[in-house]
Structures are given as C-alpha cells and as structure tokens.
Amino acid sequence: MSKQRLIVIGNGMVGHHLVEQLIERNATVDFEIVVFGEERHPAYDRVHLSEYFAGRDAQSLALGEPDFYTNNAVDLHLNEAVMRIDRDAREVVTEQGNYRYDNLVLATGSYPFVPPIPGNDRPNCLVYRTLDDLDAIRESAKTANTGVVVGGGLLGLEAANALRGLNLDTAVVEFVPRLMPMQVDTEGGELLREKIEALGVQVLTGRATQHIEDGQASFHRMVFSDDKVLETDLIVFSAGIRPRDELARDCGLEMGERGGVVVDDQCRTSDPAILAIGEVAVWNGSCFGLVGPGYQMAKAAVATLISKGQGESELSFQGADMSTKLKLLGVDVGAIGDAHGDQRPGTRMYRYLDQIKQHYRKLVVSSDGKKLIGAMLVGDNSVYDTLMQYYSNGLELPERPESLILPAAEGGAPTLGADALPETASICSCHNVTKGAICAAIDAGAADLGAVKGATKASTGCGGCAALLKSVVDHELEARGVEVDPSICEHFAYTRQELYSLVRVEGIKTFSALIEKHGRGPSSAPKLGCDICKPAVASILASCFNEPITDVAHVPLQDTNDTFMANMQKNGTYSVVPRIPGGEITPEKLIVLGEVGRKYRLYTKVTGGQRIDLFGARLEDLPDIWGELLAAGFETGHAYAKSLRTVKSCVGSTWCRYGVQDSVGMAILLENRYKGLRSPHKLKLAVSGCTRECAEAQSKDVGVIATEHGWNLYVCGNGGMRPRHAELFATDLDDATLIRYIDRFLMFYVRTADRLQRTSVWRENLEGGLDTLKDVIIDDSLGLAEELESQMRTVIDNYHCEWANALDDPDKLKRFRSFVNDGRPDPDIIVTEERGQLRPA
C-alpha cells in the first residue's frame, strides 16, 4: 500500500510540534511528510524570541537538532512560501513548483497587526515577530538613540524589553488607558506601569497615533489625537496579531467572522482533506494566541490523520485555558481564568495591594465563595501554581479564600500538598501530564522519579514542575507501600541530614574517610562519589570544621566555581566579588576597585546586594587581582559558594531622620560574624533601620527590622524564581538575644535541611512550620540550643579568607592557568565594547 502524502504549511512552533507528534506515533510508515516554511530558519522557539538580543542565536533557539527532519524522512522546504492551494487538483503551488497532497495541514500562524496610521511605512518602522524582524531592529538600532513600541500588550512589552536591551531610550504607546488590558485591571495596570517606568521605560497610555512624520531632533515624529507629539528614531509596531489566513480564504475554505479558518473538534476545515491548527484556526468562534492551545490542536490533528477511515479519532480539541504566567521586563504578571470577573454573574472579589513591595493580587470566586473563577497577579507570581490547581481542578476553596493571596506572615494559606490534588490535576503543563498519568506510570512499574520522567516526559520541558513532580511521585509510591529511598545518591544510603550527623558525631574530616566507612556501591563502580554527593559532603565538612576548601583533601569535591573561588561566566571568564560588609566602603577602597577594574579590563557593576562585581577576569589573572584586593583590605565575598552572600542595609539612624537603630552597624556585625558559613543553599540577610524597610529585609533568609525597643526578626524569605515573604519570628529583641537566635536558626537549618534546599522550602517542609521553629530556637524544646551555639562558634573561630589561604600556597596557585602545559591565556575568549565597558562578544 502506497503512502499518503501529507503537506504541512508552516514550520513554526505548532507546525513543528505536529511533525514531532507524527514521528512519535510512527506515522511516517503511512505518510510521506512534506513541510513548507517561508522563513530561512527551521522551527525555533518564538516564546523566548527576546533572548536573541541577549546573546542567543538561531541555532540555540531551534526546536530540533539540525538533522531532525532528515533523520526522520521528513522533506523540509525552507525559504519556500506557498502561494496558492488548488483544492480541485489537491496541489499546493510555490515559486519552485506544484506539490500534490492527499492531506494538508495549515499551520501558518499569524502576522503582526500594523495600525493603518499614515506614515507607518516609513524607514525604521518595523515589526517584532521573526528572527529576520529582530535582525532588522538590531540593524536600525545601530544608528538610533530612541525607540518607541506601539502596543502595550504582551508582545509590546516583549518588544520594549528588546529595545531597552539594545541600549535605546524606550517608550511604550498604548491606545487604551492601561497596559496589558486583556490580563490586568485598572489597579494591576497602574502598578505594572509604575514598575515598568521605574526601569526607565516611558509609558504613554490612552494615546491614539494620528500620523507619523519627519522629526526635528529625531527621525520620526508621532502626532497623537490630542496634538501632543513624541519624537523617536525607531518605531516597532506590536499592536496585536492577525491570523495568516490568506491561503485558506483564497481557496474558498469557511472563514471566521474576524478572520481565521473555521475548524471543528478534530481540527478539520470545511474541506475534510485540509486541517488547520494554531493561530490561523478558529474553533467555536475563538482564536488562540498561545502556544499551549496550538500544541493541543496539533495532537488532535495527528489523531484525526491517523484515524482517517477508521471512525472518529481518539482525541479532539475542546478549547484551551488562556491562563498565563509571564515575566515582562523582569516584572511578574499572572492571569488565571476570568481574571476580570466579567464573564459570570454573581462573582465576588478579594484584592491585596502592597504598594511598598509593589505586589497586587486579586481573586475572583463564585458567589458562595467555594470555587475559584479567576485570579490576577502583578509583581509576584509565587502563588500562581497553587491558584492554578484550585482553578483548573475545581477544588473547593479554604474557608477564608483571601488567605490564598495574603503573605504567610498575614495569615496566608500554605501551598497544596500532593494528597490534595485530584487525578486530573495538571502537573507538567509543557507535556500535559496529569497526576493520573503519573499514577498510571507508577502502577505500570515506574518505581522511581527517573522512571516516571521517562514514561511521562514530565519535567523534561522547562523543568518548572520538578519539585511538584517529586512530591507527587514520593507520595504515590508511599501510598502503594513502596519505600521511598531518601538516600542522597547511589554512593550513600543516607540523607544529607544523616550524613551531617555522621560527620559531626564521628569527627570525620575527609570525603575519603566518610565514603570508606559509610559509603556503598557495586564492585564495578569504585567508591569515588558523584556530582551529587561530593559537593554535598564538601559543604557539610565546611559547615562543621571550616577547613580551607582548597586543601588537597577537599579540592576534588568542589565544583568549578568553588575550585577557582570565582563564578565562571558564559564566555569562560570569571567574576571577582570582594566582600563589602553592610554595603559600607571607604573612598580609598572604591578607588582600589576602580584601579583593578581598569588595569584588568573588567566589567564593573553595582549589585542589588550592595556589592561591586567585577566581571571578565581571566583565570590566570585571578591570583594577581586578588593579591591587589587583599593588600587593600578586601577579602573574598563568597559569591561562588553556597554560603552567606551579603547582609544588605539601609543607612539607619546614623543618617536617616526616620531611622531608630544603627542598621549599618548591625549589618556589619552580622556579616562579619557569619561570613564563610557554608550551608545547603546560599544565604542572604538584611537589616532595616525602621519599618519603612528600605533594605527589603522581609525578602531575605534572615531579616532584621529596627523598632523603638530593639529588633524584630524575620526568617525564611527569599527572592529568586519563587519569591517568598519572610515570617515574623520574634519582636523587640536586644542585640545579644537577636544574635543568639540567628546563631541557632542558621545552624539548625544547616543541620536539618536537604541539599540545595533554600530556607523557604525547608520551612514549608518542616513539620509544625513556624511554631516548631520557635519551639526549637526560642524555647529550646529539643535541648539543642547550647550545641547549635557551640557549632556556630566553631565556624566563626575557624574563619579564614579562602583567597588569602590560596595565595599563600604555591601548589594551590598552579591551578590558575588555562592550559596545563602552556602559560598563555585562553585565545577563545572574545569580548566587545558596550556602554564603555567590555562584555562577552
């Protein structure tokens, strides 16, 4: 039986996913697959398109290996646009020829809408959609100083971020009164505006551009309906998208009222031989502009193609949720379900606004308060995943629904546990893996996390669901009577906490002694350790004894950053980060940093942690650089380590008229006390001199805020991918009590946390939560207080600057060269100049 020819028009993300699904289901046995893409690049990740300006190229954005299509017998035609579909002859027509088809899939996507403004076709008026568009923007930016994006929606803010990254003074012009009108309401839009303007991007809302003409100081002048003007060198139109439906329209397929080709649940158009998927398709009167629904359509279309002539397909498209979690210009924005609360009568709303931290959260619930109808988040997406589970699975809300959007310190609800999720709960959205699918994989024999990943593909996409997946797998295995092995790795039948106890109680000071006495492994695999246990044990040994990590016994355990006591950067150079306790630095030391930066041609940046980072140091220069810094009184800042990083502070009562305590002095005391403390994950502290909280102490692992009577102590907060507010732990403490509590808290965390577990996650997994911590730290319920304080004294008493230790040992310095047998520098390190400084080329 001869193969049917299947032609796919469009090689974007959705078209590529269709081909992947066909290959995965072995459809190449029955189909000869031909794909046409009008771009010169094979399918690439359009979701992360803005990273093209951050150093990624077309190859790194590609969705498949270069030989993916060839290896799977798919005929890919790039840079060949389809001009016409002849339905009678069942052919597609390009400039290169006519191609017969038995089945055809339209995956032509969309095009950027350019408002019909006189002057929109002037030079340097561009769009933001493809890699070629971005190349054009980059080229125009070379001779521009200013740029304007027309459109304040999702794509518009992405484009604004791109212009900002090209070092242009950037403005956003939006027709409606707020940014992202589809996702946020008036309050959320105003907060979003404030955050984006704080980044240096001008925001003009409620502005209708009448025409574009020659400018006086710039290339363009935009004239608005109120006769106000804005001059700019470059204009990018990103005012929405429209379906690429001209092929469907010209060949007579049924069209939607506002464009797009109409499809049914099987993604079939009005011609049964032609299917349509993605942004060009109209299902039930709606187009879907997100990649997730496009992927679901692709799966439904594949099921339809495979089942032709064999009855109805086993999968159909039933619409898609348009909830989104975004980070635009570094600002979190989340929208779930009916976020505006205008699609269902009788809904009730809860709002939470923190204007200091600039967080806005909104809940839309049913009239009886039992179901989540929608949610809106601006500035903080940390509760998005929990809210999404309530919404997508129809879970009954807690008695106080508002607790879901309140910070933990104000009565916020904890995250959902694995046992609370129904079988239909989506665990991995990238591959649409439910809790039920995970349970089925376990029932079919997947007995550990790796096997579940292999069977379901869960957590093999973006990886954002890794923690939730592990929680579900462990819970389901235990529910089936399977003992979950908590071992840190195959070489030790112990958890990190148990290894810590063994090291401490038995006084074991080397990895070799520990693995010899307590290690395991098959005879075919010598007890050498692995990339999991070696750095974990290195951290434990340093936490217990604080011996130099560069000693012969400890060096083999370290990763690259710890080995060279510097963070490796993307081009193979290293960062140099001296400690600046409390952010306080003398003019003389500032001059030294400037001189070192100039001498060694280092990129220099002031960080949010009140440090000065020097980037671009070559490996062989590190000892000389640190020699000069140590001579000036600096010491290592441990930026490369899982340890205390910084203690941030405001100027406190010394300078500020609102300050009630000396926050700088306390910050310096704490940083000098805990510097060098190795821990399961990095630690950040902060001290604020009053409740105005300028040091942002409530977002740190340990936060200290001054009061009229002493200090309030907050614990277990963090920023990062999953921000969490710290919780109030104790109030009005004197200096000695504050330090005593922090000593105990930090050492209890070091002693009991899992490897690479931040204090916030440790606290969430701690049985009894904050009350248990208070019992242990304040009331000494476990009788550990004296021991924890003694352990901290050991760490403090054994502190040493790791760079000073290395510079005193000629053998240790031998590591600092690019080639073992050659003293020359690495010739592959190439830099370019930007804003007066060097950066990776």
The response to whether 656 counts as a known ligand-binding position is: yes
The domain defined by 324-416 carries CATH number 3.40.109.10: no
**Per-residue pLDDT tens digits for 235-277:** 999 988 899 999 999 999 999 998 999 999 999 999 999 999 9
Domain boundaries for CATH 3.50.50.60 within the chain: 4-111+243-306, 125-239
Task: Tell me if 690 is assigned to a ligand binding site.
Answer: yes
At the topology level of CATH, where does 642-808 sit?
Answer: Sulfite Reductase Hemoprotein; domain 1 (3.30.413)
Residues of the chain with CATH 3.30.390.30: 324-416
Is 287 labeled as ligand-binding? no
Q: Identify the pLDDT of residue 89.
A: 95
The pairing of beta strand 274-276 with beta strand 241-243: unpaired
User: Could you give the residue range(s) of every CATH 3.30.413.10 domain in the chain?
Assistant: 642-808
pLDDT band, residue 526 (cuts 50/70/90): very low
pLDDT over 90 percentage in the chain: 49
- Cα-based distances in Å from 61 to 56, 154, 466, 572, 774: 7, 20, 23, 21, 48
How crowded is the C-beta side of 446, counted as CA atoms within 13 Å?
19
CATH topology of domain 125-239: FAD/NAD(P)-binding domain (3.50.50)
pLDDT bin (cut points 50, 70, 90) of residue 812 is: confident
pTM of the full structure: 0.59
Residues of the chain with CATH 1.10.10.1100: 426-479
- Strand, helix or coil at 698? helix
Residues 326, 48: Cα–Cα separation, whole Å: 11
Cα–Cα–Cα angle for 756, 761, 764, rounded to 5 degrees: 150
Region 12-20: mean pLDDT is 93
Q: What are phi and psi of 576, to 5 degrees?
A: -120, 120
pLDDT of 440 strictly over 80 = yes
Q: How confident is the model at residue 462 (pLDDT cuts 50, 70, 90)?
A: very low
Structure tokens at 353: 């606004």
* Dist. CA 544–CA 121, nearest whole Å: 68
Residue 523 is predicted with a pLDDT of 41
Maximal C-alpha separation, the chain: 88
In our burial notation (b when 16+ CB lie closer than 10 A, e otherwise), range 674-690 reads bbbbbbbbbbbbbbbbb
> In 3D, which of 239, 249, 320, 324 has the Cα closest to residue 287?
320
pLDDT above 70 covers what percent of the chain?
93
Rounded to an integer, the average pLDDT of 333-351 is 86
Structure tokens at 490: 């195959």
State the pairing for strand pair 103-106/274-276: parallel
Angle between helices 533-545 and 511-518 (to 10 degrees): 120
For the chain, give the mean pLDDT.
Answer: 87
Token pair 């080229």: residue = 139
Q: Residue 646: CB partners within 8 Å, gap ≥ 6?
A: 583, 609, 610, 611, 637, 671, 684, 685
Instruction: Tell me the pLDDT tens digit for each residue of 63-105.
Output: 888 788 999 999 999 999 999 999 999 999 999 999 999 999 9
Q: What is the pLDDT of residues 352-397, one digit of tens each?
A: 998 888 889 999 999 888 999 999 999 888 788 788 888 888 888 8
Assign domain 4-111+243-306 to its CATH superfamily: FAD/NAD(P)-binding domain (3.50.50.60)
User: Domain spanning 426-479: which CATH class is it, in words?
Assistant: mainly alpha
The answer to whether 430 is a known ligand-binding residue is no
Of the two residues 66 and 735, the one the predictor is more confident about is 735
